[in-house]
Amino acid sequence: MKQRLIEWRREPSIVRVEKPTRINKARQYGYKAKQGGIIVVRVRLRRGGPFNRRRPNSGRRPKRMGVYGITTSKSFN
C-alpha cells in the first residue's frame, strides 16, 4: 500500500482508473463490471488543517464567500 501511495502522489490529481480499488464499496454505489457505463476516476483530496478555503478578496456578501461550513468533520463522499 505504501508503494502504491508513492506512485499515486506522483500522478496528476485526477486519474482515470481501469477498475475500482475497493470493489465492495464501488458495488454499494452501483458499480458493475460491464462494458461501457461507468467511468472510474481517482481524485486527490485536500487534507490537513487548517481546512478552510481561501477567502476571496473581491466584493460579495459573506454568505456567498464559500469559506465557512467546510471542515474536516464533513464527509468527502
Q: What average pLDDT does range 22-35 have in this prediction?
A: 89
pLDDT score for 21: 87
Is 70 exceeded by the pLDDT of residue 72?
A: no
Map residue 64 onto helix, strand or coil: helix
Task: Compare 30 and 52 and report the one with higher pLDDT.
Answer: 30
What does the pLDDT read at residue 14? 93
The x, y and z cell numbers of residue 21, run together, are 480499488
Give the phi and the psi of residue 6 in degrees, each rounded to 5.
Answer: -65, -40
pTM for this entry: 0.53
Confidence check: pLDDT of 11 > 70: yes
SS3 (DSSP) at 36? coil
**68: DSSP letter:** T
